[in-house]
Amino acid sequence: MNAGTILYIPVAQAEGGATVTVKGQLYGPTLKLDGTDITTGTAVTIATDSTRYVPLSVEGTGGLYLTGIAIDYAAGSPAATSHTVTVGLNGQYRTIQAALDANDSSETDRLVLKITPGDYREKITVTKPGVTFANADVTAKRAVTIRASYYSSNTFDADGKFVPQDEFDLGTNKCATVTIGAGAKVSPPTASPSRTITTWWITRRRASRRRPWR
C-alpha cells in the first residue's frame, strides 16, 4: 500500500468492542487506524457499537507491505443471522449477479445464495461482506459451474496505457470470472468436495480450470 492509500475494514456490531491487528512491514509512512496512529503487529481496540467500515490509512511517504489484518471480537464472533435466496432456472433469480445486486448482505445479516446445479456463464463481482455461495444439490451429485470468456492480452501503447484488442480483453485486473471487491467477503461451501462450486477462467486461446474453494 502506497502512501495516500485508505483501506476500509468492515467490522460487525458486537458487544465489548474488538481489537484489530495490522500485520506487515512499514517502510517510512505513518499508519493510522480510525484516525489513531498505530504500529504493525500491535492489537488496537476499536468500538463496535454499530456495523461500519474502519479506515486504515497510510500517510506521509513510503509504503506498507501488508500481509494480513486480524479482527478479534471481545464477545467472540458477532451474532449473525442470514437470509437465503435461490438462483437458477426456477429460482428467484436467473443469474448469480442479479441475486447479488438485488439483496443486501453484512457480517450480521448474511446473504446465502442457494444455487441450482448447472452452468452459469457470467462474470461475477461481489461488493458486499457476508456472502455465501451454496450448492442447492443436497445429494452432492451435481455441480455448480461458473464460466466467463474474458482475458488479458497484456497489450500496452508507448505510454504504458493498456490497449484492449477486443470486447473480451479487459486486462489482468478485470478479467477474473469472480471478482471479490474491497471490503467484500465470500464464504465457500461447507459441503463435501463433490459439491464444490467450480469456476472456469476461459480465454480465447485456452480454458484453464480453477478450483478456488474445496
pLDDT tens for each residue of 39-70: 999 999 999 888 889 999 999 998 889 898 99
In percent, the amount of the chain with pLDDT more than 90 equals 41
How confident is the model at residue 75, as a pLDDT?
A: 75
Is pLDDT of 200 > 60? no
The three cell numbers of residue 86 are: 435461490
Instruction: Count other Cβ atoms within 10 Å, centred on residue 193.
Output: 10
Helix or strand or coil: residue 158? Answer: coil
Whole-structure pTM value: 0.54
Is pLDDT of 73 > 60? yes
The residue-averaged pLDDT of 192-210 equals 41
Query: How far, in Å, CA of 110 to CA of 104, rounded?
Result: 8
Confidence of residue 188 (pLDDT cuts 50, 70, 90): low
Is pLDDT of 104 > 90? yes
Query: How far, in Å, CA of 66 to CA of 167, rounded?
Result: 34
Confidence of residue 33 (pLDDT cuts 50, 70, 90): very high
Confidence of residue 210 (pLDDT cuts 50, 70, 90): very low
Query: How far, in Å, CA of 69 to CA of 58, rounded?
Result: 14
The three cell numbers of residue 1 are: 500500500
